[in-house]
Structure 1
């Protein structure tokens, strides 16, 4: 599932199509950079990703997997040691946020990735002008260019900030298996 294609970024920067393999690679790298930034901000994958995890315990009707949110469990295979079940499983699942299931998130993700990929300096240099339009006047036929659109400034063509995706941020707390020590159980104090 592609959130944004290199062709869509090329349209944004007025780059002629079809793209050369070099242009496509540079633009795809900018898209991947924007998605990596989103992944770090959201604390999860911005689009579902297939994950294989070994040594997973079953907890009632669910699985104690490390990645959330879970989109679907693809398979769960019991693990064995010397032919005996270990009580753990190898679980294959898809995890991450799903832009197809949540159109509001999908639109916000697309705006962010498209805006930031198109605003990266090495992408701006690919455009025919090598710069971005700051303002234009039809009757006076004047154009003002800028090389530095400020994210979140509200100006035409300015990319949104990461805070536009904060609503979908995944915050979680993980406690390892087993019983944690009692807070008053320590015998020595610092």
Structure 2
């Protein structure tokens, strides 16, 4: 079962559902949250909660163990590997098998609040929650004696529920998944660089 980063009650309150939430509504909200989390994990390329990892052949630097996953939360164990070099006055450097937890904490870390904001707002717009009170058309006028009821024209969720742009989460995106464009520096006037088009070079 997927661990939820935001609660069903958080989403329900924003959509105008009464709390505590009825079981049928809770299931739909949970599905909406899970779908939002799956989309965010795919974008970031990493879990939303710290995970446990085991690495072999880890080297130690003056600043500590050199580990693949960051940020490191806790080193659970570091065991010297039997066939590793002796280091110090021998040849090479010793290596270790390290078991540790690492990763972002999107659930409770104050710095990851933008991730929770994106998840809640995205879940609020899920099609399964289209019947939410906050997403319904509002009556702007009403008549009696069998006359028609007039609704306002706004049928989309209020702007308050609109999710922020996914780019607002990019600071937590793995570097390999970032869209990177090398900076283009204009050539100073009169400077010719051989082999660079547009500078007069050949």
User: TM-score normalized by structure 2?
Assistant: 0.60
Question: Match for residue 143 of structure 1?
Answer: 152
Correspondence for 1:53? 54
Say whether the 8 Å CA contact 2:106–2:116 is kept in structure 1.
Answer: no
Aligned to 2:71: 70
Tell me, which stretches of 5 or more residues in structure 1 are unaligned? Answer: 174-190
Deviation of residue 30 (structure 1)? 1.6
Equivalent position to 1:6, from 5, 8, 13: 8
Could you tell me how far apart the structure 1 residues matched to 2:124 and 2:103 are?
28
Aligned twin of 1:184: none
The CA distance in 2 between the partners of 1:145 and 1:121, in whole Å, is: 17
Distance change in 2, residues 1:95/1:23 (3 Å): same
What are the residue-to-residue correspondences of 1:45-124 with 2, within 5 Å?
Answer: 45-46=47-48, 48-60=49-61, 61-65=64-68, 67=69, 69-78=70-79, 84=82, 87-96=95-104, 101=109, 103=111, 105-106=112-113, 108-124=114-130
Change (3 A) 1:85 1:143: farther
C-alpha contact (below 8 Å) 2:58/2:98 kept by paired residues? no
Match of 1:161 in 2: 165
Change (3 A) 1:135 1:42: farther
For 1:37 and 1:122, locate their aligned partners in 2 and report how far apart those are by CA, in whole Å: 16
Superposition deviation, residue 45 in structure 1? 2.9
State the shift of 1:56 in Å: 4.7
Secondary structure, in 3 states, of the residue corresponding to 1:144? coil
Structure 2 unaligned residues grouped into runs of 5+: 85-94, 142-149, 178-202
Q: CA deviation at 1:159?
A: 1.9
Q: Which has the larger radius of gyration?
A: 2
1:124-153 Cα deviation digits (max 9, x unpaired): 23x25xx72578869xx9533425x5xxxx
- CA pair 165-73 structure 1, distance change in 2 beyond 3 A: same
5 Å-filtered alignment, 1:177-188, equals none
Shift, 1:121, TM fit: 0.3
Can you list the C-alpha shifts for 1:20-51, whole angstroms capped at 9, x where unaligned?
333323212221221221122122233x3131
Q: 1:99 to 1:18 in 2, by over 3 A?
A: closer
Structure 2 residue 43 is the aligned partner of structure 1 residue 41: yes
d(CA) in 1 for partners of 2:137, 2:57? 53
CA distance in 2, matches of 1:22, 1:133: 19
Aligned residue in 2 for 1:188: none
